[in-house]
Structure 1
Amino acid sequence: MRLAGNLLLAVLVLAALAIAATYWRAGQREAAARAAYPPLGQILDVGGVQVHAHVTGAGPDIVLIHGAGGSLRDFTFDLAARLSDRYRVIAFDRPGHGHTDAADTAGRRFDAPRQQAALLQAAARQLDIARPLVVGHSFGGSVALAWALEQPGDTAGVVLLAGATMPWPGTLNASYRINSSLLGGALVVPAITAWVPLPYARQVLAGIFAPQPMPESYPAEFGLPMALRRGLLRANARQVNGLRPHVVEMSGDYPGLEIPVELLHGDADEIVPLHVHSGPLSALLPDAVLTVLPGVGHMPHHAMPDHVTAAVDRVAERAGLR
């Protein structure tokens, strides 16, 4: 009995040391990531919530909302510069991503699309953004539609890039459920932050671009280490894992959204499939145009940026902004 007790004690001590080492290393990697990738734009105080916004260009306002696990750097990599010669382009970090807080000072989280839209709209008011055209990619597509649903009279139009906007069949990858759980958030997420090699994370990121190749400089400019932080991993898992009920609820309001909408979606997108999302959505929206991009995966703004800027210009013209 004494031997068994000693063995159990030794196992517990080793486990505690392993957890302590994991948390220490995770903290070190996060500190290095934050030092290497400071905010590109300005930090707005929205009722005690920090919101990161990057503003460039001049002209009618365009708001860019990134997808799951990303940041506004996904847009500053290329798309923002393609638009800033004729628009004022405002890219936000969504809650829990980049340099935007996941919750307010009372601990209330901004996980749902409508909650995120309301927070970003409050930030937009500080920037004197008026009647913007809102562009959303992937998860950001649901936030872009929530933005329009919350303020239909003050939204010029919407452009959705592989938008996750409709209810889907089946279940998500188990990692979302694990990382959003209490135990997974305490043990699995810190292990990812601490020990996942950057070359492996780069391979995962490249898979999001498939079947197109990922631009060679994208991981460095995107800030891949920032995407491995514990807070972001937990927030992203919660948001994605909880998204479906919100798009179920929102989809009932889509037919009343009478503003111009452009949908761009690759038919090779296996992450947010065309036939589940943009296809059915285009039939619900009164003033929607669907452009199917043959052979394009989940990153149309990188694979076919000219098609994206043309869609933005079309919506701007239809909305009377140009």
Structure 2
Amino acid sequence: MLVLPTIGIGMALVAAISAATLWRAARAEARAEASHPPHGRMIAVDGTRIHAEVMGSGPDVVLIHGSSGNTRDMSFALAPLLADRYRVILFDRPGLGYSDPLPKGHEGISEQADLLVGAAQRLGADRPIVVGQSYGGAVALAWAVHHPEALSALVPVSAASHPWEVPLDLFYRITSSRLGARLAVPLLTAWVPQSKIETTLREVFAPQPVPKGYGDHFGPRLTLRRSSLRANARQRANLLAEIEALAPLYDQIAVPTEIIHGTADITVDPGLHSRALADRIKTAEITWLDGIGHMPQHVAAPEVAAAIDRAAARAGLRKPL
């Protein structure tokens, strides 16, 4: 006799939690966009809008952010160091920040590189120096392999470049699945506390501390929007297979290449990735940052800027220091 009322109460409770979650998620997204609006312009490439920021003047440098990022990651420390002598172009990768996502199944590092090459060309940057950090480094490598005529030099920073054996993190296994994208992602957008965001930032920057003001500048809750979480999860879930396909082609890269990596990086293994990459690219020089973790574009920004200067000099875009 009590079964039907109990079921009804349970269904009503589930419906109430679902409605509250969707309401909180929408409110969180609106607040994130209001507090951290786009600072650049939208560029249409084959029907996909790419958000780009441009600062400074001089030879063109494109900065490509990593997983869960946006242009604000590169504009916090590195871009201001470069803008006095370069025209710095910062892109939101497809699906992140304020750039449109690419269609499912067509959003890998090569497709992203194709799109960013087109966006750079629309800004008049036909042969920029291409700098990519972490996942963005993989996109930069795809740019160099598939569009060798569309860059002057390459600077991979803490770049993922070679196949690895560690299984995909549980977080990405859940959020990249159809059920997880539908159920778990809205819960994350709606309910992730600020303390968890701060813990995650500390883990990403370790062993260095998170730079003062970074969280406020970057706006982590932009990445926690549902569309960005889903796009980022799919990209991470597919990255290994894409790297396996790209890695055999690195010996085709002929532009000046300056690899830079921290020796204390526990996110992207320096030996597995950057040391192996330097062995494959004949034009590569490598700079090790002793004791530096995964985020040298912030905690060692002058050293990264110096690597870009060396790449520019080798490409004939500026005088050697």
TM score, norm. by length of structure 1: 0.96
One-letter amino acid of the structure 2 residue matched with residue 30 of structure 1? E
One-letter amino acid of the structure 1 residue matched with residue 97 of structure 2? G
| Count of aligned pairs | 318
Distance 2:223 2:253 in 1: 33
1:224 aligns with 2:220: yes
1:268 aligns with 2:264: yes
2:211 and 2:299 in contact (8 A); partners too: no
Matched position secondary structure for 2:271:
coil
2:172 and 2:237 in contact (8 A); partners too: yes
2:312 is matched with which residue: 304, 309, 316? 316
Distance 2:119 2:155 in 1: 20
2:50 and 2:91 in contact (8 A); partners too: yes
Superposed, which structure 2 residues align to 1:180-195 within 5 Å? 180-195=176-191
Structure 1 pair 196–108 and aligned structure 2 pair: CA distance change class (3 A) = closer
1:282-316 CA-to-partner distances (Å, cap 9, x unmatched) read: 11111111111111110011111111111001111
* 1:98 paired residue number: 97
Superposed, which structure 2 residues align to 1:49-128 within 5 Å? 49-103=48-102, 107=103, 110-128=106-124
Q: For residue 110 of structure 1, report the CA deviation from its aligned partner.
A: 4.8
Superposed, which structure 2 residues align to 1:258-297 within 5 Å? 258-297=254-293
One-letter amino acid of the structure 2 residue matched with residue 249 of structure 1? A
1:112-153 CA-to-partner distances (Å, cap 9, x unmatched) read: 000001111111121011211000000000000111112112
1:150 aligns with 2:149: no
Matched position secondary structure for 1:253:
helix
Q: For residue 79 of structure 1, report the CA deviation from its aligned partner.
A: 0.7
1:43 and 1:53 in contact (8 A); partners too: yes
Q: Percent identity?
A: 45
TM score, norm. by length of structure 2: 0.96
Q: For residue 24 of structure 1, report the CA deviation from its aligned partner.
A: 1.0
Matched position secondary structure for 2:172:
helix
Q: For residue 200 of structure 1, report the CA deviation from its aligned partner.
A: 2.0
Matched position secondary structure for 1:5:
helix
Unaligned runs of 5+ residues in structure 2 are none
Q: For residue 5 of structure 1, report the CA deviation from its aligned partner.
A: 2.9
1:202 and 1:224 in contact (8 A); partners too: no
Q: For residue 154 of structure 1, report the CA deviation from its aligned partner.
A: 2.5
Q: For residue 195 of structure 1, report the CA deviation from its aligned partner.
A: 0.7
Unaligned runs of 5+ residues in structure 1 are none
Matched position secondary structure for 1:177:
helix
1:102 and 1:110 in contact (8 A); partners too: no
1:246 is matched with which residue: 232, 242, 246? 242
* 1:302 paired residue number: 298
* 2:27 paired residue number: 28
Q: For residue 181 of structure 1, report the CA deviation from its aligned partner.
A: 0.8
One-letter amino acid of the structure 2 residue matched with residue 254 of structure 1? Y
Matched position secondary structure for 2:55:
strand
One-letter amino acid of the structure 2 residue matched with residue 215 of structure 1? P
Matched position secondary structure for 1:39:
coil
Distance 1:40 1:206 in 2: 26
Distance 2:287 2:168 in 1: 26
Q: For residue 109 of structure 1, report the CA deviation from its aligned partner.
A: 5.8
Matched position secondary structure for 1:134:
strand
* 1:199 paired residue number: 195
Structure 1: 4+ residue segments shifted above 6 A: none
Q: For residue 22 of structure 1, report the CA deviation from its aligned partner.
A: 0.3
Distance 1:217 1:199 in 2: 16
Matched position secondary structure for 2:154:
strand
1:167 is matched with which residue: 157, 163, 167? 163
Q: For residue 224 of structure 1, report the CA deviation from its aligned partner.
A: 1.7
One-letter amino acid of the structure 2 residue matched with residue 131 of structure 1? R
Structure 1 pair 108–182 and aligned structure 2 pair: CA distance change class (3 A) = closer
Matched position secondary structure for 1:31:
helix
